[in-house]
Amino acid sequence: MSSMSKIVAGVLVLLAIVLGVFAARLALKEPEPAPVVAQREVRPEPVVETKERTLYPVVVAARDLEPGVPLRAEDLQMDGWPAAPAQGFAQADPLVGEKLREALRKGEPLTERLLAQGLSRHLQAGERAIMVAVDESLGGAGGIAPGDRVDVFFTLGRDNENQNTQARLLLPSARVLAFGQDSLDGPVGAEAQKGRTSVAARSAMLAVPLAEVNGLLLAMGKGKLQLALRSPEDKAQPDAALFAEREPVLQARAGLSPDERERLRQAENLAYAGDSIASLAASEPAVPESQAGQAAPGKKGDAARSVQVIRGRQSGLHHY
Q: Are residues 135 and 223 in the same domain?
A: yes
Please give the residue that has the higher pLDDT: either 254 or 137.
Answer: 254
What CA–CA distance (Å, rounded) separates 265 from 240? 13
Q: Are residues 107 and 126 in the same domain?
A: no
Percent of all residues in the chain with a pLDDT value above 70, rounded to a whole number: 70
> Given 207, 235, 263, which residue is the final one in a domain?
235
Give me the torsion for CA of 111, 115, 118, 124, rounded to 10°. -170
Q: Domain for residue 151, yes or no?
A: yes
What CA–CA distance (Å, rounded) separates 257 from 30? 120
Q: Domain for residue 5, yes or no?
A: no
What CA–CA distance (Å, rounded) separates 208 from 151? 11
In this prediction, residue 35 carries a pLDDT of 60
Q: Please determine, for residue 75, whether its predicted confidence score (pLDDT) is greater than 90.
A: yes
Q: Domain for residue 260, yes or no?
A: no
Q: Domain for residue 42, yes or no?
A: no
pLDDT band at 292 (very low <50, low <70, confident <90, very high): very low
Mean of pLDDT over the chain: 78
Buried b / exposed e over 165-192, threshold 16 CB at 10 Å, is ebeeebbbebbbbbbbebbbeeeeeeee
In this prediction, residue 157 carries a pLDDT of 78
In this prediction, residue 190 carries a pLDDT of 43
Q: Please determine, for residue 55, whether its predicted confidence score (pLDDT) is greater than 60.
A: yes
In this prediction, residue 213 carries a pLDDT of 94
Judge contact between 144 and 232, C-beta under 8 A.
no
The number of CA neighbours under 13 Å toward the Cβ of 257 is 2
Q: Are residues 209 and 110 in the same domain?
A: no
Q: Is the dihedral of CA 160, 163, 165, 166 positive or negative?
A: negative
| pTM of the predicted model as reported, rounded to 2 decimal places | 0.58
Q: Are residues 74 and 124 in the same domain?
A: no
What CA–CA distance (Å, rounded) separates 15 from 12? 5
Q: Domain for residue 175, yes or no?
A: yes
In this prediction, residue 87 carries a pLDDT of 87
Q: Please determine, for residue 26, whether its predicted confidence score (pLDDT) is greater than 70.
A: yes
Q: Are residues 140 and 208 in the same domain?
A: yes
Q: Please determine, for residue 68, whether its predicted confidence score (pLDDT) is greater than 70.
A: yes
State the residue range of the domain holding 153: 119-190+197-235
Q: Are residues 79 and 186 in the same domain?
A: no
Q: Domain for residue 23, yes or no?
A: no
In this prediction, residue 277 carries a pLDDT of 83
Instruction: Tell me the CA distances in angstroms from 261 to 242, 254, 264, one per residue in order.
Output: 20, 10, 5
Q: Are residues 107 and 138 in the same domain?
A: no
Please give the residue that has the higher pLDDT: either 244 or 186.
Answer: 244
3-state per-residue secondary structure call for 55-106: CEEEEEECCCECCCCCCCHHHEEEEEECCCCCCECCCCHHHCCCCECCCECC
Cα first-last separation, the chain: 198
> Which of 14-28, 217-231, 259-273 has the least mean pLDDT?
14-28
Q: Please determine, for residue 262, whether its predicted confidence score (pLDDT) is greater than 70.
A: yes
Q: Domain for residue 30, yes or no?
A: no
Q: Domain for residue 222, yes or no?
A: yes
User: What is the rounded average pLDDT of the residues 288-296?
Assistant: 46
